Amino acid sequence: MGFPWYSTPWNTHLSTTNTNLDILVVVFYFLLVLGIGLWAILSSSRGTVEDFFLAGRNLAWWQIGAFLFASNIGTGHFMGLAGKGASSGIAVGAFEWNAPFILCILGWVFSPIYIKAGVVTTPRYLRKRFGGCRIQFLLAILYLFLYIVSKIAVEICTGAMFMKLVLGLDVYLATVVLLTVTGIYAITGGFAAVVYTDILHASVMVLGSVLLTACITPNKSKTSKNHCALLRTMMHIASTCLFEGRRIPPATESVHGC
């Protein structure tokens, strides 16, 4: 599914709908995130490696849960999966529905092994398991490369697209702003700063999702039968052709009610 002639990934100025309120909300949120990150820097200890990378092991379960939830969701989801869901249906959620099962395996199977071994990263565990620094070094380099190419680059790209769409910023300037705000609290504050800011992200996303769902839920008395049939088709996990960007046509039988 391509972009219309007036809107390309790096040319969105003709399709912007931002107002002064939109800009104010985005700027306020950036400042709020930066403020929470700075507060975490000043209030948490970073004197040891454990303090910096594990927040001193003083985090509650719900804080870790909010961190896992928010860290898994980025601008790529809002700019990519949201658009695909709007055009194809809810079947795009199948990618994310696998995550809870993988997290359960991580928490109940692998985490006890890492905790017992006294390690916090997979490369270090493999070094301790098989001996030698070579496997740890090679795996760390591989993880960094894959994460930068498949995750960080996508998040920076889609984040810059969003800021260009809302604020009208140049993509390079938007990239610098994103990296600066994130780097200030993540690099200097360590894991504790990341967790506290992710708690804010998770709260905003959950509240926003609930409000958005309530706003876009069609009114039964004002929804046509054709629209209702389309919604019923798009809300089925098996009704979407994900990889070709096409949706299987809805059933031809009449729809009674909605």
Burial 208-237 (b: 16+ CB within 10 A, else e): eeeeeeeeeeeeeeeeeeeebbbbebbeee
Asked whether the predicted pLDDT for residue 151 surpasses 50, the reply is: yes
For the ranges 169-173, 191-195, 223-227, the lowest mean pLDDT is seen at 223-227
Kindly state the average pLDDT of the residues 25-41.
87
Instruction: Give me the residue label for tokens 């960080």.
Output: 152
Among 178, 146, 154, smallest CA distance to 81 is for: 154
Chain segment 69-83, per-residue pLDDT in tens: 888 888 777 777 777
In this prediction, residue 145 carries a pLDDT of: 92
pLDDT above 60: residue 86: yes
* pLDDT for 17: 56
Q: Token pair 């301790």 is at which residue?
A: 128
Q: Please give the Cα distance from 158 to 77 (Å, whole number).
A: 9
Q: pLDDT tens digits for 165-180?
A: 877 788 899 899 888 8
Given a contact cutoff of 8 angstroms between Cβ atoms, the answer to whether 248 and 233 are in contact is yes
Q: What does the pLDDT average to over 176-189?
A: 86
